[in-house]
A = this chain, B = another copy of it.
Amino acid sequence: MFDPSAVAVVGASETEGKIGYEAMANAMEFDGPVYPVNPSSDGDLFGVPFVDSVTDIDDDVDLALCCVPGPATPDVVAECGEAGVGAVVIYAGGFAEAGDEGERLQRAVVETAEEYGISLLGPNTSGFVVPATDLLCSFASGAEKLPEGNTAVIAQSGGIAHVLAFQSRRQGRGVSAMVGLGNRANVGFTETIEYFDGDDRTDAIVLHVEGTDDGRGLLEACRDSDTPVIAYKVGQSDVGEFAESHTGALTGDHELYTAGFAQYGVPTVTATDELLDAAAALGDSPVPDGPNVGVVTAQAGPGIIITDRLQRAGGRLPALTAETQERIDGILPGVTYTGNPVDTGRPMPEFGDVVTAVAEDAAVDIVLVYELFEQSVGFPVDALDGLAERVEKPVLFATDGIEEDMADDKAALAAVDVPVFETPERAADAAAVLARYGEMQAAGTDSEVVADD
């Protein structure tokens, strides 16, 4: 599915705006051969001759993008089986999400697929994208501009998969893959989590979950993943009928999910931007040893917001050791506030030294730095370069300013793998996810030790 040698687009169309056209246009970006399949079409599409059936292709097609309407799907899947295609993406709706008849249709497709050992993504999905190999198996426009990153997006809704991928781009990040599961005919959360846990390009996995019949399978896949997983379970209030009309799943009991995720070591969040922030924090950082956050701020206002929000979301702000406080007083005599947060009052050349002092404090598991951009001082890039690795703690940075003025400094931070956040609240939320993750990891290790006894 995610690493094919050749791709077929079944139901490829010459009519712009049709899914069969958009899917083919996007698929053409792929480095390997791409074949348009349509028995009603002659001639070429994007310079490649149409074929009547996947069984007519000599090449080794691993992946077929099925752009035909629902009722024609079972035949296409059977043909793919005959042709030895191992994976099929089904974009069409009208399956399990659309009542009894649709359910029967979906069952028929799944039975055919399992006969031939085919992995089915969808139906009722916008597909997937792997930016590193330009594998654009989505009909949405803009898929070709998604940048490569180290977060795998796995969303129950194809629409939310795209929302997350576009947001990630706007944040200057990117994705290792973006997958919309749709109805999860036979490729669901467990299969994709397992796959991307083994994917070298992926350092964090984010889940958008509406609901699933196999909650246990989902949780166990999360627990078994060495790659950190963060989950966004939607549907806290009753969205009943509408949710069912979507991907054929009820949104289920929100509290039960949240508790289950926590028990299986998965931090949960409550918004799309928070999900991507958490992935940036977890994917680019050492695993924290606990929930203790050391906050350094150059302005008190953001410091208060961060402190308040962190505390409410499961982070702790320990007192810094006397040594650290003395050290900071030595760096900045008369500094505004040397508790935790440390408030330097303004950006200044010594700011990086203060951050280093806090990062080296034994009471601190996670470091969060806030500094409004000031042109004459810039960011403490040298101090932050390699700091997280050296102290083996996450070091997060948040700022605000005129985007183009701070672009170079922000790029410099990205180049040395410092996760950067856009608002005080979002930085605090990301640090809180790290804190909760750190606490879960610590608890998990403890219980394993007990179990070994």
Contact = CB atoms under 8 A, between A and B. Distances in A.
A402 B142 contact: yes
A204 B291 CA distance: 39
Interface string A410-442: 000000000000111110000000000000000
Contacts of A158: 299, 301
Contacts of A163: 301-302, 372, 400, 423-424
**Interface-centre pick from A16, A271, A345, A403 (highest chain B CB count, 10 A):** A271
A322 to B, nearest CB: 17
**Interface-centre pick from A142, A345, A374 (highest chain B CB count, 10 A):** A142
A223 interface: no
A273 interface: yes
Contact of A159 (B271, B299, B405): B299
- Copies in the assembly, this chain: 2
B423 A141 contact: no
A208 to B, nearest CB: 7
A156 interface: yes
A445 interface: no
A108 to B, nearest CB: 22
Interface in A259-304: 270-273, 299-304
A155 interface: yes
Interface in A42-86: none
A304 to B, nearest CB: 5
Interface stretch (A129-137, A236-244, A360-368, A383-391): A236-244
A337 interface: yes
B304 A169 contact: no
A-side interface size class: 35 or more
Nearest to A371: B159
A173 interface: no
Contacts of A273: 423, 425-426
A234 interface: yes
Contact of A304 (B235, B305, B377): B235
B304 A141 contact: no
A299 B157 contact: yes
A423 B272 contact: yes
Contacts of A422: 167, 170
A426 B163 CA distance: 13
A201 interface: no
Given A17-B376, A400-B167, A239 B304 contact: yes
Contact of A405 (B142, B300, B339): B142
A251 interface: yes
Contact of A166 (B17, B208, B236, B401): B401
Contact of A401 (B141, B271, B300, B312): B141
Interface string A215-251: 0000000000000000000111111011101110001
Given A341-B242, A400-B163, A405 B303 contact: no
B405 A145 contact: yes
23 contacts: A141-B375, A142-B373, A142-B375, A142-B402, A145-B402, A159-B372, A160-B301, A160-B302, A160-B305, A162-B299, A163-B302, A163-B424, A166-B402, A210-B301, A235-B308, A237-B311, A237-B312, A239-B311, A245-B336, A245-B337, A245-B343, A246-B301, A251-B308
